[in-house]
Amino acid sequence: MTMPLVTLLFASLLVLLNLVLLARVSLSRRQAQIGIGSGGNPALQRRIRVHANFIEQVPLALLLMAVLELSGLAPGWLWGLGAALLLGRVLHAVGLSRTAGYSFGRAVGTLLSWGVLLVASLLGLWVVLFRLA
């Protein structure tokens, strides 16, 4: 069995990003002396949402990537998915961290992340249907 090394690389990089987002929430909580929730603090609330959005998107994308890689999908697809996911999550985090309204980073980051989920799921269906045929 081959190891999903491309997915492992992107999972590792994304976990490092997750730790940065977690640290930002923890530091904000400590500075504001808020143990749970946001306490109505808008900056803390945004940091919590940045992290929560990351957690809502990344695990499914990485799961799909890992299964696709184990299924033998061409590495170029995996590199593209991983790069788009990482870029999308960085852009989204930066954009939403700066403003709760519209921002280029937030919009493009969302599109890239959703695009990765869509393309990976369609590739998964293609792999299954191709192998079943």
Q: What is the CA radius of gyration of the chain?
A: 17
Residue 34: HSE in the Cβ half-sphere, 13 Å Cα cutoff: 18
Confidence tier at 2 by pLDDT (50, 70, 90) = confident
The closest alpha carbon to 53, from 11, 82, 25, 81, belongs to 25
Question: How is residue 43 written in tokens?
Answer: 């900056």
User: What's the one-letter identity of residue 41?
Assistant: N
Per-residue pLDDT tens for 91-133?
999 999 888 888 999 999 999 999 999 999 999 999 999 887 6
Does the pLDDT of residue 1 top 70, yes or no?
no
CA separation for the pair 82, 115 (Å, rounded): 11
pLDDT score for 133: 67
CA separation for the pair 81, 65 (Å, rounded): 8
CA separation for the pair 116, 62 (Å, rounded): 10
If one compares 99 and 19, the residue with the highest pLDDT of the two is 19
Mean pLDDT of 67-94: 97
Does the pLDDT of residue 41 top 80, yes or no?
yes
